[in-house]
Amino acid sequence: MAYEVGLWRIGESGEPVRVTSGAIPLESQLEMLIAQDPTILGEPVMIIGRQVPTDFGGLIDLLGIDAEGTLHVLELKRGRTPREVVAQILDYASWVKNLSHDDVLTIYAASRQELPFETTFFNVFGINPPDELNADHRLTIVAYDVDPATERIVSYLSSFAVPVNVVFFRYFEDDGRRYLARTWLIDESKPSRAISVKQRSSTKETWNGQDWYVALGEEGGARSWDDARRYGFVSAGGGSWFSRTLVNLPIGARIFACIPKTGYVGVGTVIGEARSAKEAMLEINGETRRFTELDLKASYRHEGDDQDEALLEYIVPVTWIQSVPREQAIWARGMFANQNSACKLRNKFTLERLLENFNLDE
């Protein structure tokens, strides 16, 4: 059950004077206020579209996304009956449920935002977008108050883990000033609200089948981009978690090497299978040479790797198509970065910038 919101002004004599509430003069104004500052809902949400058309003929008032990639359908009550507004938002949910990663980006582009989706996402949340967009969704009815029928229906649906809630705003005027107060029907912090509507894996961006992201961390002096660039390889190790993704790089894959917190420094083609540093052989100027015999800046050793093979550094031979010094690394807000040593590079925003900066064809 929602709590009643009251507001009192302390009078000149110290007595409490209740400020009366009323309906917001224009409900469209409430939509505009949420679009301008979605944090009035109580959590960071990035609005990606207003009056978004669905395939079923309706228009979603506001469509947002949060830091986890969950889509938020926001529908204003606009004087409709409880059955009408609840049926409407559930109908929208049946459409939103099937939106792909590309669909989400298309909706954002249609809203004519000045910045790319990835850049705006980073500006709002301080992180890059997750691999999956629309893995979950949430439904919010926005209203001036909650009538018993709406409360009864929404509470019932919520008990079956339907991700629907009601946020209502009280409007106050006092001495020429205007105020809004927000209350949620259902406490979002309750454990039952953590149950989400899981979607299919197609909420990830489509992979082009050839491009991979490779992280080349230089912390601790265990590896060096200067070595990798000079001799043609990428590497990772110090534990199976770091090496397991790297060893799965297929021969012929196009990789984009990224120094974490610096940027992308090279694009190349994998020309051999991963081998431990003590076993790896590289082709240098037409001569096959043992990796450990090269003039290397970094150690490619990890404490305990002489006793535990899981800690070994693994080397993957690469022919560099283009590479740059770390000082010329390519980076922009919203570009893809990942904690894995290697993974499929799906992010179109990142690929477009890498193709342009490295002068590559599609």
Q: Which residues pair with 244 in a beta bridge?
A: none
* Mean pLDDT along residues 322-332: 96
Domain boundary among 140, 174, 203: 203
Quick one: 139 and 248 in the same domain?
Answer: no
Residue with tokens 């509470």: 155
Provide the pLDDT confidence category of residue 337 given band limits of 50, 70 and 90.
Answer: very high
pLDDT of residue 119 exceeding 70, the answer is yes
**Do the domain assignments include residue 2?**
no
The CA R_g of the chain, rounded to the nearest whole Å, is 27
**Do the domain assignments include residue 123?**
yes
Quick one: 282 and 136 in the same domain?
Answer: no
Tokens representing residue 223 in the block: 């590896």
Helix and strand totals (H; E) in the chain? 8, 18
**Do the domain assignments include residue 181?**
yes
Quick one: 277 and 254 in the same domain?
Answer: yes
Number of domains in the chain: 2
Quick one: 78 and 151 in the same domain?
Answer: yes
- Are 60 and 73 contacting, i.e. CB atoms less than 8 angstroms apart? yes
User: What count of residues does the chain have?
Assistant: 362
Q: Is 110 left (phi over 0), alpha (psi -120 to 50) or beta?
A: alpha
Tokens representing residue 304 in the block: 């305990």
- Are 323 and 254 contacting, i.e. CB atoms less than 8 angstroms apart? no
Q: State pTM to two decimals.
A: 0.75
Quick one: 182 and 229 in the same domain?
Answer: no
DSSP 19: P
Domain boundary among 203, 226, 247: 203
Tokens representing residue 280 in the block: 């790896």
Quick one: 12 and 152 in the same domain?
Answer: yes
Quick one: 125 and 178 in the same domain?
Answer: yes
Domain with 191, as residue range(s), is 8-203
For the stretch 129-177, pLDDT in tens is 988 899 899 999 998 777 788 889 999 998 888 999 998 887 788 877 8
Q: Tell me the percentage of the chain whose pLDDT exceeds 90.
A: 64
Q: Which amino acid, residue 90?
A: L
For the stretch 36-79, pLDDT in tens is 999 888 888 999 999 999 998 899 999 999 999 999 999 998 87
What local confidence, expressed as pLDDT, does residue 171 receive? 79
Tokens representing residue 157 in the block: 């649906």
Quick one: 260 and 241 in the same domain?
Answer: yes
Quick one: 140 and 260 in the same domain?
Answer: no
For the stretch 194-247, pLDDT in tens is 444 444 446 788 889 999 999 999 988 999 999 999 999 999 999 998 999 999
Quick one: 176 and 281 in the same domain?
Answer: no
- Closest listed residue to residue 38, CA positions, set 53, 24, 50, 25: 50
**Do the domain assignments include residue 329?**
yes
Arithmetic mean of pLDDT over the chain: 89
Tokens representing residue 182 in the block: 């927000």
Half-sphere exposure (CA, 13 Å, Cβ side) for 357? 19
3-state secondary structure of 150: helix
Quick one: 180 and 215 in the same domain?
Answer: no
Quick one: 46 and 129 in the same domain?
Answer: yes
**Do the domain assignments include residue 263?**
yes
What local confidence, expressed as pLDDT, does residue 276 receive? 96
